Amino acid sequence: MTSPATIASQLPLFHVVGFSGHRQLADSVSVAASIREALLSLRNDAPGEWIALSSAAAGADLLFVRAALDLKIGWEASLPLPVLDFERDFLPEEWVEVKALLTHAEHLEIAAEPGSREEAYLSGGFEIVNRCDVLLVVWDGQPARGKGGTADVVGYARAMGRPIVIVNPDSKAVRRENFDTLRLHDANLRFLNAVPGKELGPVESSRALVTAFQKKVDDAATHSSPHFRRLIAITLWLHVGATALATASLAFDWHWVGLPWGKLLLLLGALGVAYMVRTQRTHHHWTRCRLAAEITRSALAIWGLPKATRLFADFDWAGLEPLRRSLDVLHRRAARDSGADFDTFRQKYLAGRVDDQLAYFERQESRAIPLLGRLRLGFTLSSVGAIVFTTLYALHGSIGWPILPHLVEELLYYFAPIMLPVAAAAFISLISINDLHRRVARYREMCIRLETVRKEIAHSQTWAGLERAIAKAERVLLQEVFEWHSITSFTESH
């Protein structure tokens, strides 16, 4: 099905209803009606669009699939076994119908793992629970008749706290469990959709919609950067300044009225900046926009692959699952309607994604290395100076040498030995605050990994090989984004 027209730069919200049910049903007509009513009820209860997720096993699964397609609900097939193995569960005439239904799936995924067929069905049921917001089941309330039965899936869903709609095939009763945990809205996607952007009115093209969304969150992140590390550095230097004033008043025997007030102002300024960093939501909002911009940039980079796979499935999307799902669904639907020339897409991806990111990491490394060098130099000079002046002070106290003018003695013997170690600590702290050692090493690693995957992409000859190479590149790039997000979020929370 095609995505509905939506406001430019706002991504639609999708919910997933998973399914599990018995194969043998005494009254399939009544069960089908109950499934249909349950789907209609969910669609009326929640904003956004529902996606159906299920296998295509005989019995209740097929009733669910037909009901979803009849209601124009997009269906994603999650088979427990490869198609050739799955076919063995059907008679030839039954498989003709199932095969026809599979052509209507927006996405087909195999959840099989090594093991028996029962184990495959069990892991397939668990995977549906993991990916759904609500689980709809046709279950008579009895224990599973074999491993991987509906009762096992229900037990896992209950343990995971999933909302469940249970249709009893015998009594025809329908009841809900755990629906107080169902999130009808997503705060993060709502925030990102509310970020101001250029109003273009309704759009029909999924790519145009995602492009507009990416541009507005990227602009928001660029223009509202809170310069978090810079604020922390200011706090550090304000403390160093306050220490310098206190040390000077002791070393030079200054008793000026303004000195304590100056120290107090510096300390209050440091506290104020630290409080602003700790409490302001600017950094949190900026982080969300930057992360969304990079994720969406990745989605646009792979736009045009004829087989839109869940390239982001390897990441932990806590708090970001609705965003991922929206990009995933829009991309898959667009991939069904348009084709791309292999060489054109490959060259465009190399130039627009890989080469662009290589240039970015090279620029970042070229900026980080000189800064790291300057801070290391500052630390070295401060440390050596502290050692030299402390040694002179020790010699002067022990043997009375060297003899220097009084003002120079105060500077070299009393002020410098205290302030230079403080300055050295400040320089080494700035290296840590700016995360320079890790950043320089990471930038070099990213360039090496991207150069390697670039060669693999350039020599790919088939869509399958190209897709594997692109998936590798995107995992490399998104891993960097998620590491950055984890570091900045952890820093902010403390």
Segment 252-286, tens digit of pLDDT: 999 898 999 999 999 999 999 988 877 766 777 88
* Amino acid symbol at 153: V
Reported as a pLDDT band with limits 50, 70 and 90, residue 492 is very low
pLDDT in tens, 318-331: 678 889 899 989 98
Q: Which of 150-164, 200-214, 458-472 has the lowest mean pLDDT?
A: 200-214
Total domain count for the chain?
A: 2
For CA atoms 53, 179, 168, 38, the dihedral sign is: negative
What was the pLDDT predicted at 130?
92
Question: Do residues 11 and 81 share a domain?
Answer: yes
Question: Do residues 267 and 409 share a domain?
Answer: yes
Domain membership flag for residue 187: no
Question: Do residues 110 and 214 share a domain?
Answer: no
What is the average pLDDT across 334-342?
76
Domain membership flag for residue 92: yes
Show which of 130, 164, 181 is a domain's final residue. 181
Between CA 13 and CA 186 the distance in angstroms is: 8
Reported as a pLDDT band with limits 50, 70 and 90, residue 143 is confident
Reported as a pLDDT band with limits 50, 70 and 90, residue 482 is confident
Q: Is the pLDDT of residue 79 over 70?
A: yes
| Range from 51-55, 91-95, 184-188, 467-471 that averages highest in pLDDT | 51-55
Q: Is the pLDDT of residue 409 over 60?
A: yes
What was the pLDDT predicted at 1?
45
Domain membership flag for residue 220: yes
As given in the structure block, the two tokens for residue 151 are 């009762």
Please give the share of the chain, as a percent, with pLDDT higher than 70. 90
Q: Is the pLDDT of residue 471 over 50?
A: yes
What was the pLDDT predicted at 211?
92
What is the average pLDDT across 187-215?
84
What was the pLDDT predicted at 493?
44
What was the pLDDT predicted at 5?
40
Domain membership flag for residue 192: no
Between CA 148 and CA 161 the distance in angstroms is: 19
Q: Is the pLDDT of residue 238 over 80?
A: yes
What was the pLDDT predicted at 3?
44
What was the pLDDT predicted at 494?
43
What is the average pLDDT across 128-147?
89
Domain membership flag for residue 142: yes
What was the pLDDT predicted at 284?
75
Domain membership flag for residue 196: no
Question: Do residues 341 and 487 share a domain?
Answer: yes
Taking every pair of C-alpha atoms in the chain, what is the biggest distance, in angstroms?
107
Higher pLDDT, 214 or 479: 214
Residue 71 structural domain: 6-181
As given in the structure block, the two tokens for residue 394 are 């020790």
- CATH code of residue 76: 3.40.50.450
Reported as a pLDDT band with limits 50, 70 and 90, residue 50 is very high
**What is the radius of gyration, based on Cα positions, of the chain?**
31
What is the average pLDDT across 124-142?
94
Q: Is the pLDDT of residue 114 over 90?
A: no
pLDDT in tens, 372-408: 999 999 999 999 999 999 999 999 989 988 889 999 9
Question: Do residues 248 and 151 share a domain?
Answer: no
What are 17's strand-pairing partners?
A: 52, 134
As given in the structure block, the two tokens for residue 190 are 């709502």
Domain membership flag for residue 193: no
Question: Do residues 214 and 177 share a domain?
Answer: no
Between CA 119 and CA 475 the distance in angstroms is: 29
Higher pLDDT, 7 or 240: 240
Between CA 172 and CA 177 the distance in angstroms is: 16
Question: Do residues 37 and 111 share a domain?
Answer: yes
Put residue 20 in one of left, alpha, beta given phi > 0 → left and psi -120 to 50 → alpha: beta
Task: Give the containing element (helix H, strand E) for 326.
Answer: helix 321-337
Between CA 55 and CA 80 the distance in angstroms is: 7
Q: Give all strands of the β-sheet with 107-110 in edge-to-edge order.
A: 107-110, 74-79, 49-54, 14-21, 134-138, 164-167, 174-177
DSSP H stretches of helix in 339-399: 342-349, 355-399
Between CA 182 and CA 179 the distance in angstroms is: 5
Question: Do residues 347 and 445 share a domain?
Answer: yes
What is the average pLDDT across 231-240?
93
Show which of 140, 161, 181 is a domain's final residue. 181
Q: Is the pLDDT of residue 178 over 70?
A: yes
As given in the structure block, the two tokens for residue 297 are 């940039």
What are 20's strand-pairing partners?
A: 137
What was the pLDDT predicted at 315?
63
Between CA 362 and CA 458 the distance in angstroms is: 20
Question: Do residues 302 and 381 share a domain?
Answer: yes
Please give the share of the chain, as a percent, with pLDDT higher than 90. 62
What is the average pLDDT across 64-73?
96
Show which of 181, 197, 228 is a domain's final residue. 181
What is the average pLDDT across 475-490?
73
Q: What is the pTM assigned to this prediction?
A: 0.82
Q: Residue 13: name the closest of 316, 485, 338, 328 by CA.
A: 328
Question: Do residues 146 and 215 share a domain?
Answer: no
Domain membership flag for residue 221: yes
Between CA 183 and CA 164 the distance in angstroms is: 13
Question: Do residues 243 and 101 share a domain?
Answer: no
Question: Do residues 487 and 340 share a domain?
Answer: yes
Positions of E strands within 80-226: 107-110, 134-138, 164-167, 174-177, 202-203
What was the pLDDT predicted at 172?
87
- For the chain, the average pLDDT equals 88
Reported as a pLDDT band with limits 50, 70 and 90, residue 309 is low
